[in-house]
Every structure is written in structure tokens, then in C-alpha cells.
Amino acid sequence: MSNALVALGGFAIAVGLPAYYVVIKRRASDSVRALLAERFARQPCPVGEVHTTLGWIRFYDAYRDNRGSGLVLVLGNLRRSRTAYNRVAGFFKPGGNLKTAEPASSADVLFTANIAGGDLIVWKGLPSRESVLAHMQSVS
């Protein structure tokens, strides 16, 4: 009887945990998609790849803020190994002048640099509507 309970518990963890993460990622992705439709316009990505202490970030999409902030939201994947990656988001400001002093000292900042003719700041954590708006406010 106890072996069956242990096996059932193991099965619940093996199936439940990945399912939980899929739901979290899907909700975050949906919220970012809704924000992009409301406030941003797609544009060519100004940054290709950057190297951080945790691995390479390859940016795959960029969106210009339609409300005149001059910020470009960049979305990418932080490659931790050949098979593992994390989604990340950041802001790029062409020409520089991105106010990164306060957020750059924050624990959730992954990378800051002046590259490709502008300033770039990238945060740790799964991009969601709430995180994008909070980070946008912190650099505006």
C-alpha cells in the first residue's frame, strides 16, 4: 500500500510540476502578446546577441513603444546550455540616455550595456505584462 502511494506521489510530481510551469509560461506569454497588441509596433531587432555571465542572449523580436518613450522592447532567449534556455525581456534606447542607474543596481537586472548605438538593459525572470510595464516605468 505505501509503495503505491509513493509511486502515485512521484507520478503526481513528475506530471504536475511540468504542467504547472507550462501554465505559468502560457499565461505570461498571453499577457505579453496582449500588451504588444495594445501599445507596441513590431520593428527590426536592433540587437542580435549579447554575452552575459549566465550565457548568451539571442534576441528574436523587437517592438517600438507607440506612446513616444523612445524605448524598444526586445525579447530573447538566455541560453544556459545546448538544450536549456530562459525567456528574457529588456529595453533598448537608440542613441543611449537610458536611465539605468536605479534599475541597474537591482538584483533582477541580468545585463546592461551600451551597444549597437544605444543603451540596453535586460531583466531576469519570465516576461509578463506586469513585469514589462514595471521595468518600463523604472527606466523612463
- Taking only the tens place, the pLDDT of each residue in 90-133 is 999 998 777 754 555 566 888 888 888 899 999 988 899 999 99
CB 61 within 8 A of CB 42: yes
Q: Please, what is the end-to-end C-alpha distance for the chain in angstroms?
A: 60
Domain ranges of the chain: 3-139
pLDDT for the residue numbered 125: 85
Task: Give pTM, 2 decimals.
Answer: 0.82
Q: What is the DSSP letter of 107?
A: T
pLDDT band per the 50, 70, 90 thresholds, residue 33:
very high
Instruction: Give mean pLDDT, residues 25-52.
Output: 92
Query: What's the chain's length in residues?
Result: 140
Closest CA to 133 of 28, 16, 22, 21: 28
State how far the alpha carbon of 31 is from the alpha carbons of 43, 95, 126, in Å.
20, 29, 11
pLDDT tens-place string over residues 61-84 = 999 999 988 899 999 999 988 888
State how far the alpha carbon of 132 is from the alpha carbons of 65, 93, 111, in Å.
12, 15, 15
| Cell output for 5 | 502511494
CB 72 within 8 A of CB 120: no
